[in-house]
Each structure stands twice: as structure tokens, then as C-alpha cells.
Amino acid sequence: MMDDVGLLDVFDKRYVEGDAWHYRFFVPHDTDGLIELFGGTDEFIKELEIFFKNSQIWHTTTLPNPYYWPGNEHNLFSVWQFSYANRSDLTQLFSRWLTKHVYSTQPNGIPGNDDYGTMSAWYLFASMGIYPLSGSSTYILGSPDFNKITINRNNGACPLTIIAHNNSDQNIYVQKVLLNGIPLTTFPFIDHVQHLTCLSEGKQTIQLDFYMTDKVVN
């Protein structure tokens, strides 16, 4: 555990719009390397869980949270980092909690401010259960809110349909995922190259089927 002075002070001048906790996990380009610096997956998961669980006692989303704060850009990727430590169930648990408890249709329904659509984009990706790793062709799969959603492309080619079977507020965990009817062996990761493969094989659509359960599956 960190015990440096000011680590929970989001207005500490040593950090910009954050504190030591916020920036501690901000290595989106090399989460595997970050896990090594923590000494392995067990310690990484323990600290990342503390980051999220302690944030839940703060009921405001308009002012900075000293732990995970969904209204800050350098925290946006943190919930997806559980999957790199073989705990995709925690990505599913906390991402679903965030979409249900932090976002709403009320005037304060977006944490912080939207920052030219950044928070809205995060919400849409999380609600679809698929999140892009910036600067790569990788997506991380989460827990879809939508029972069914189709994403159409501007040119009309190969739309993506995501279906969440047995989906409910209790069934937040992913049992398995099929890509065009074939089990996804790379779960919880999927590569954009697979989209291109679908196009090259002449397929008209891409379909991701999530099978949801109330039991943790890893």
C-alpha cells in the first residue's frame, strides 16, 4: 500500500487533475508490464480492487474522487485492466456497476463533464460490452447492458450485431462468447483483424453472441 503524503489529495499540486492512486494504473499501453511492477497478478488485482471498492463510498460524480473517478480520462481504462490479470469477471462486475450507478438520464447523469463526448463514448462502449484499446487493434470484452444492438458502418458494409443472451441485472457475468457462431478462443480479447477476416470471407454481417450467467466464470 502507498503511504505517501497527499496520495488521496486530488488537488495536490504534484498531480494534474488527479492523485497518486489515479495515475498509479495509468499505463494503458503496457498493462502486462505494469502487472510485473506490482510483483504479479495477485498484488495487482488486490490493489486495483481497493481502487474500485473504495471509490464506491463516494456518492458524488461531479467532484474528484480520491480513488477511481469515472469522470477523469486517465481512469477510463482502469476497469478493463482486470482482464489482463485473468480476472475478466471483475471487469464485468465493475463496468456493469458503473453503467448502472454512475450514468443516468438525469442532469448530472454524466460524471464530471462530457469532454467533447469522451464520457458518452466510454458509456456506449461499456454498455455494448466491447472496449477499444487505444493505439491498437485490440478490443476488451465486458458485460453488455443491451440485449441486442447493431452498429452500422457509414459505407453499409458488414454491420456488427451484439446479442446478450439471458441478460439481466443479476446475470452480469459472461459464460462464453461466439463470433459468427464460433467460440471465441481469445476471450476476453478480440482483434480488429477478425473483422477484416469476416469481410474478406464475403460475410455480410458480424455477430457477437454473449451468453450471460449470474456465476463467476474465469
Can you list the residues of the chain whose pLDDT is less than 50?
A: 1-3, 5-6
**CA-based nearest residue to 68, from 6, 35, 19, 109:** 19
Pairing state between β 160-165 and 138-141? unpaired
Where do the domains of the chain lie? Answer: 20-130, 148-213
Peptide bond just before 188 cis, omega within 30 deg: yes
Cα separation, 157 vs 52, in Å, equals 39
pLDDT in tens, 158-199: 788 999 999 999 999 999 999 989 999 999 998 865 655 555
pLDDT in tens, 94-115: 999 999 988 988 888 888 888 8
pTM above 0.85, yes or no: yes
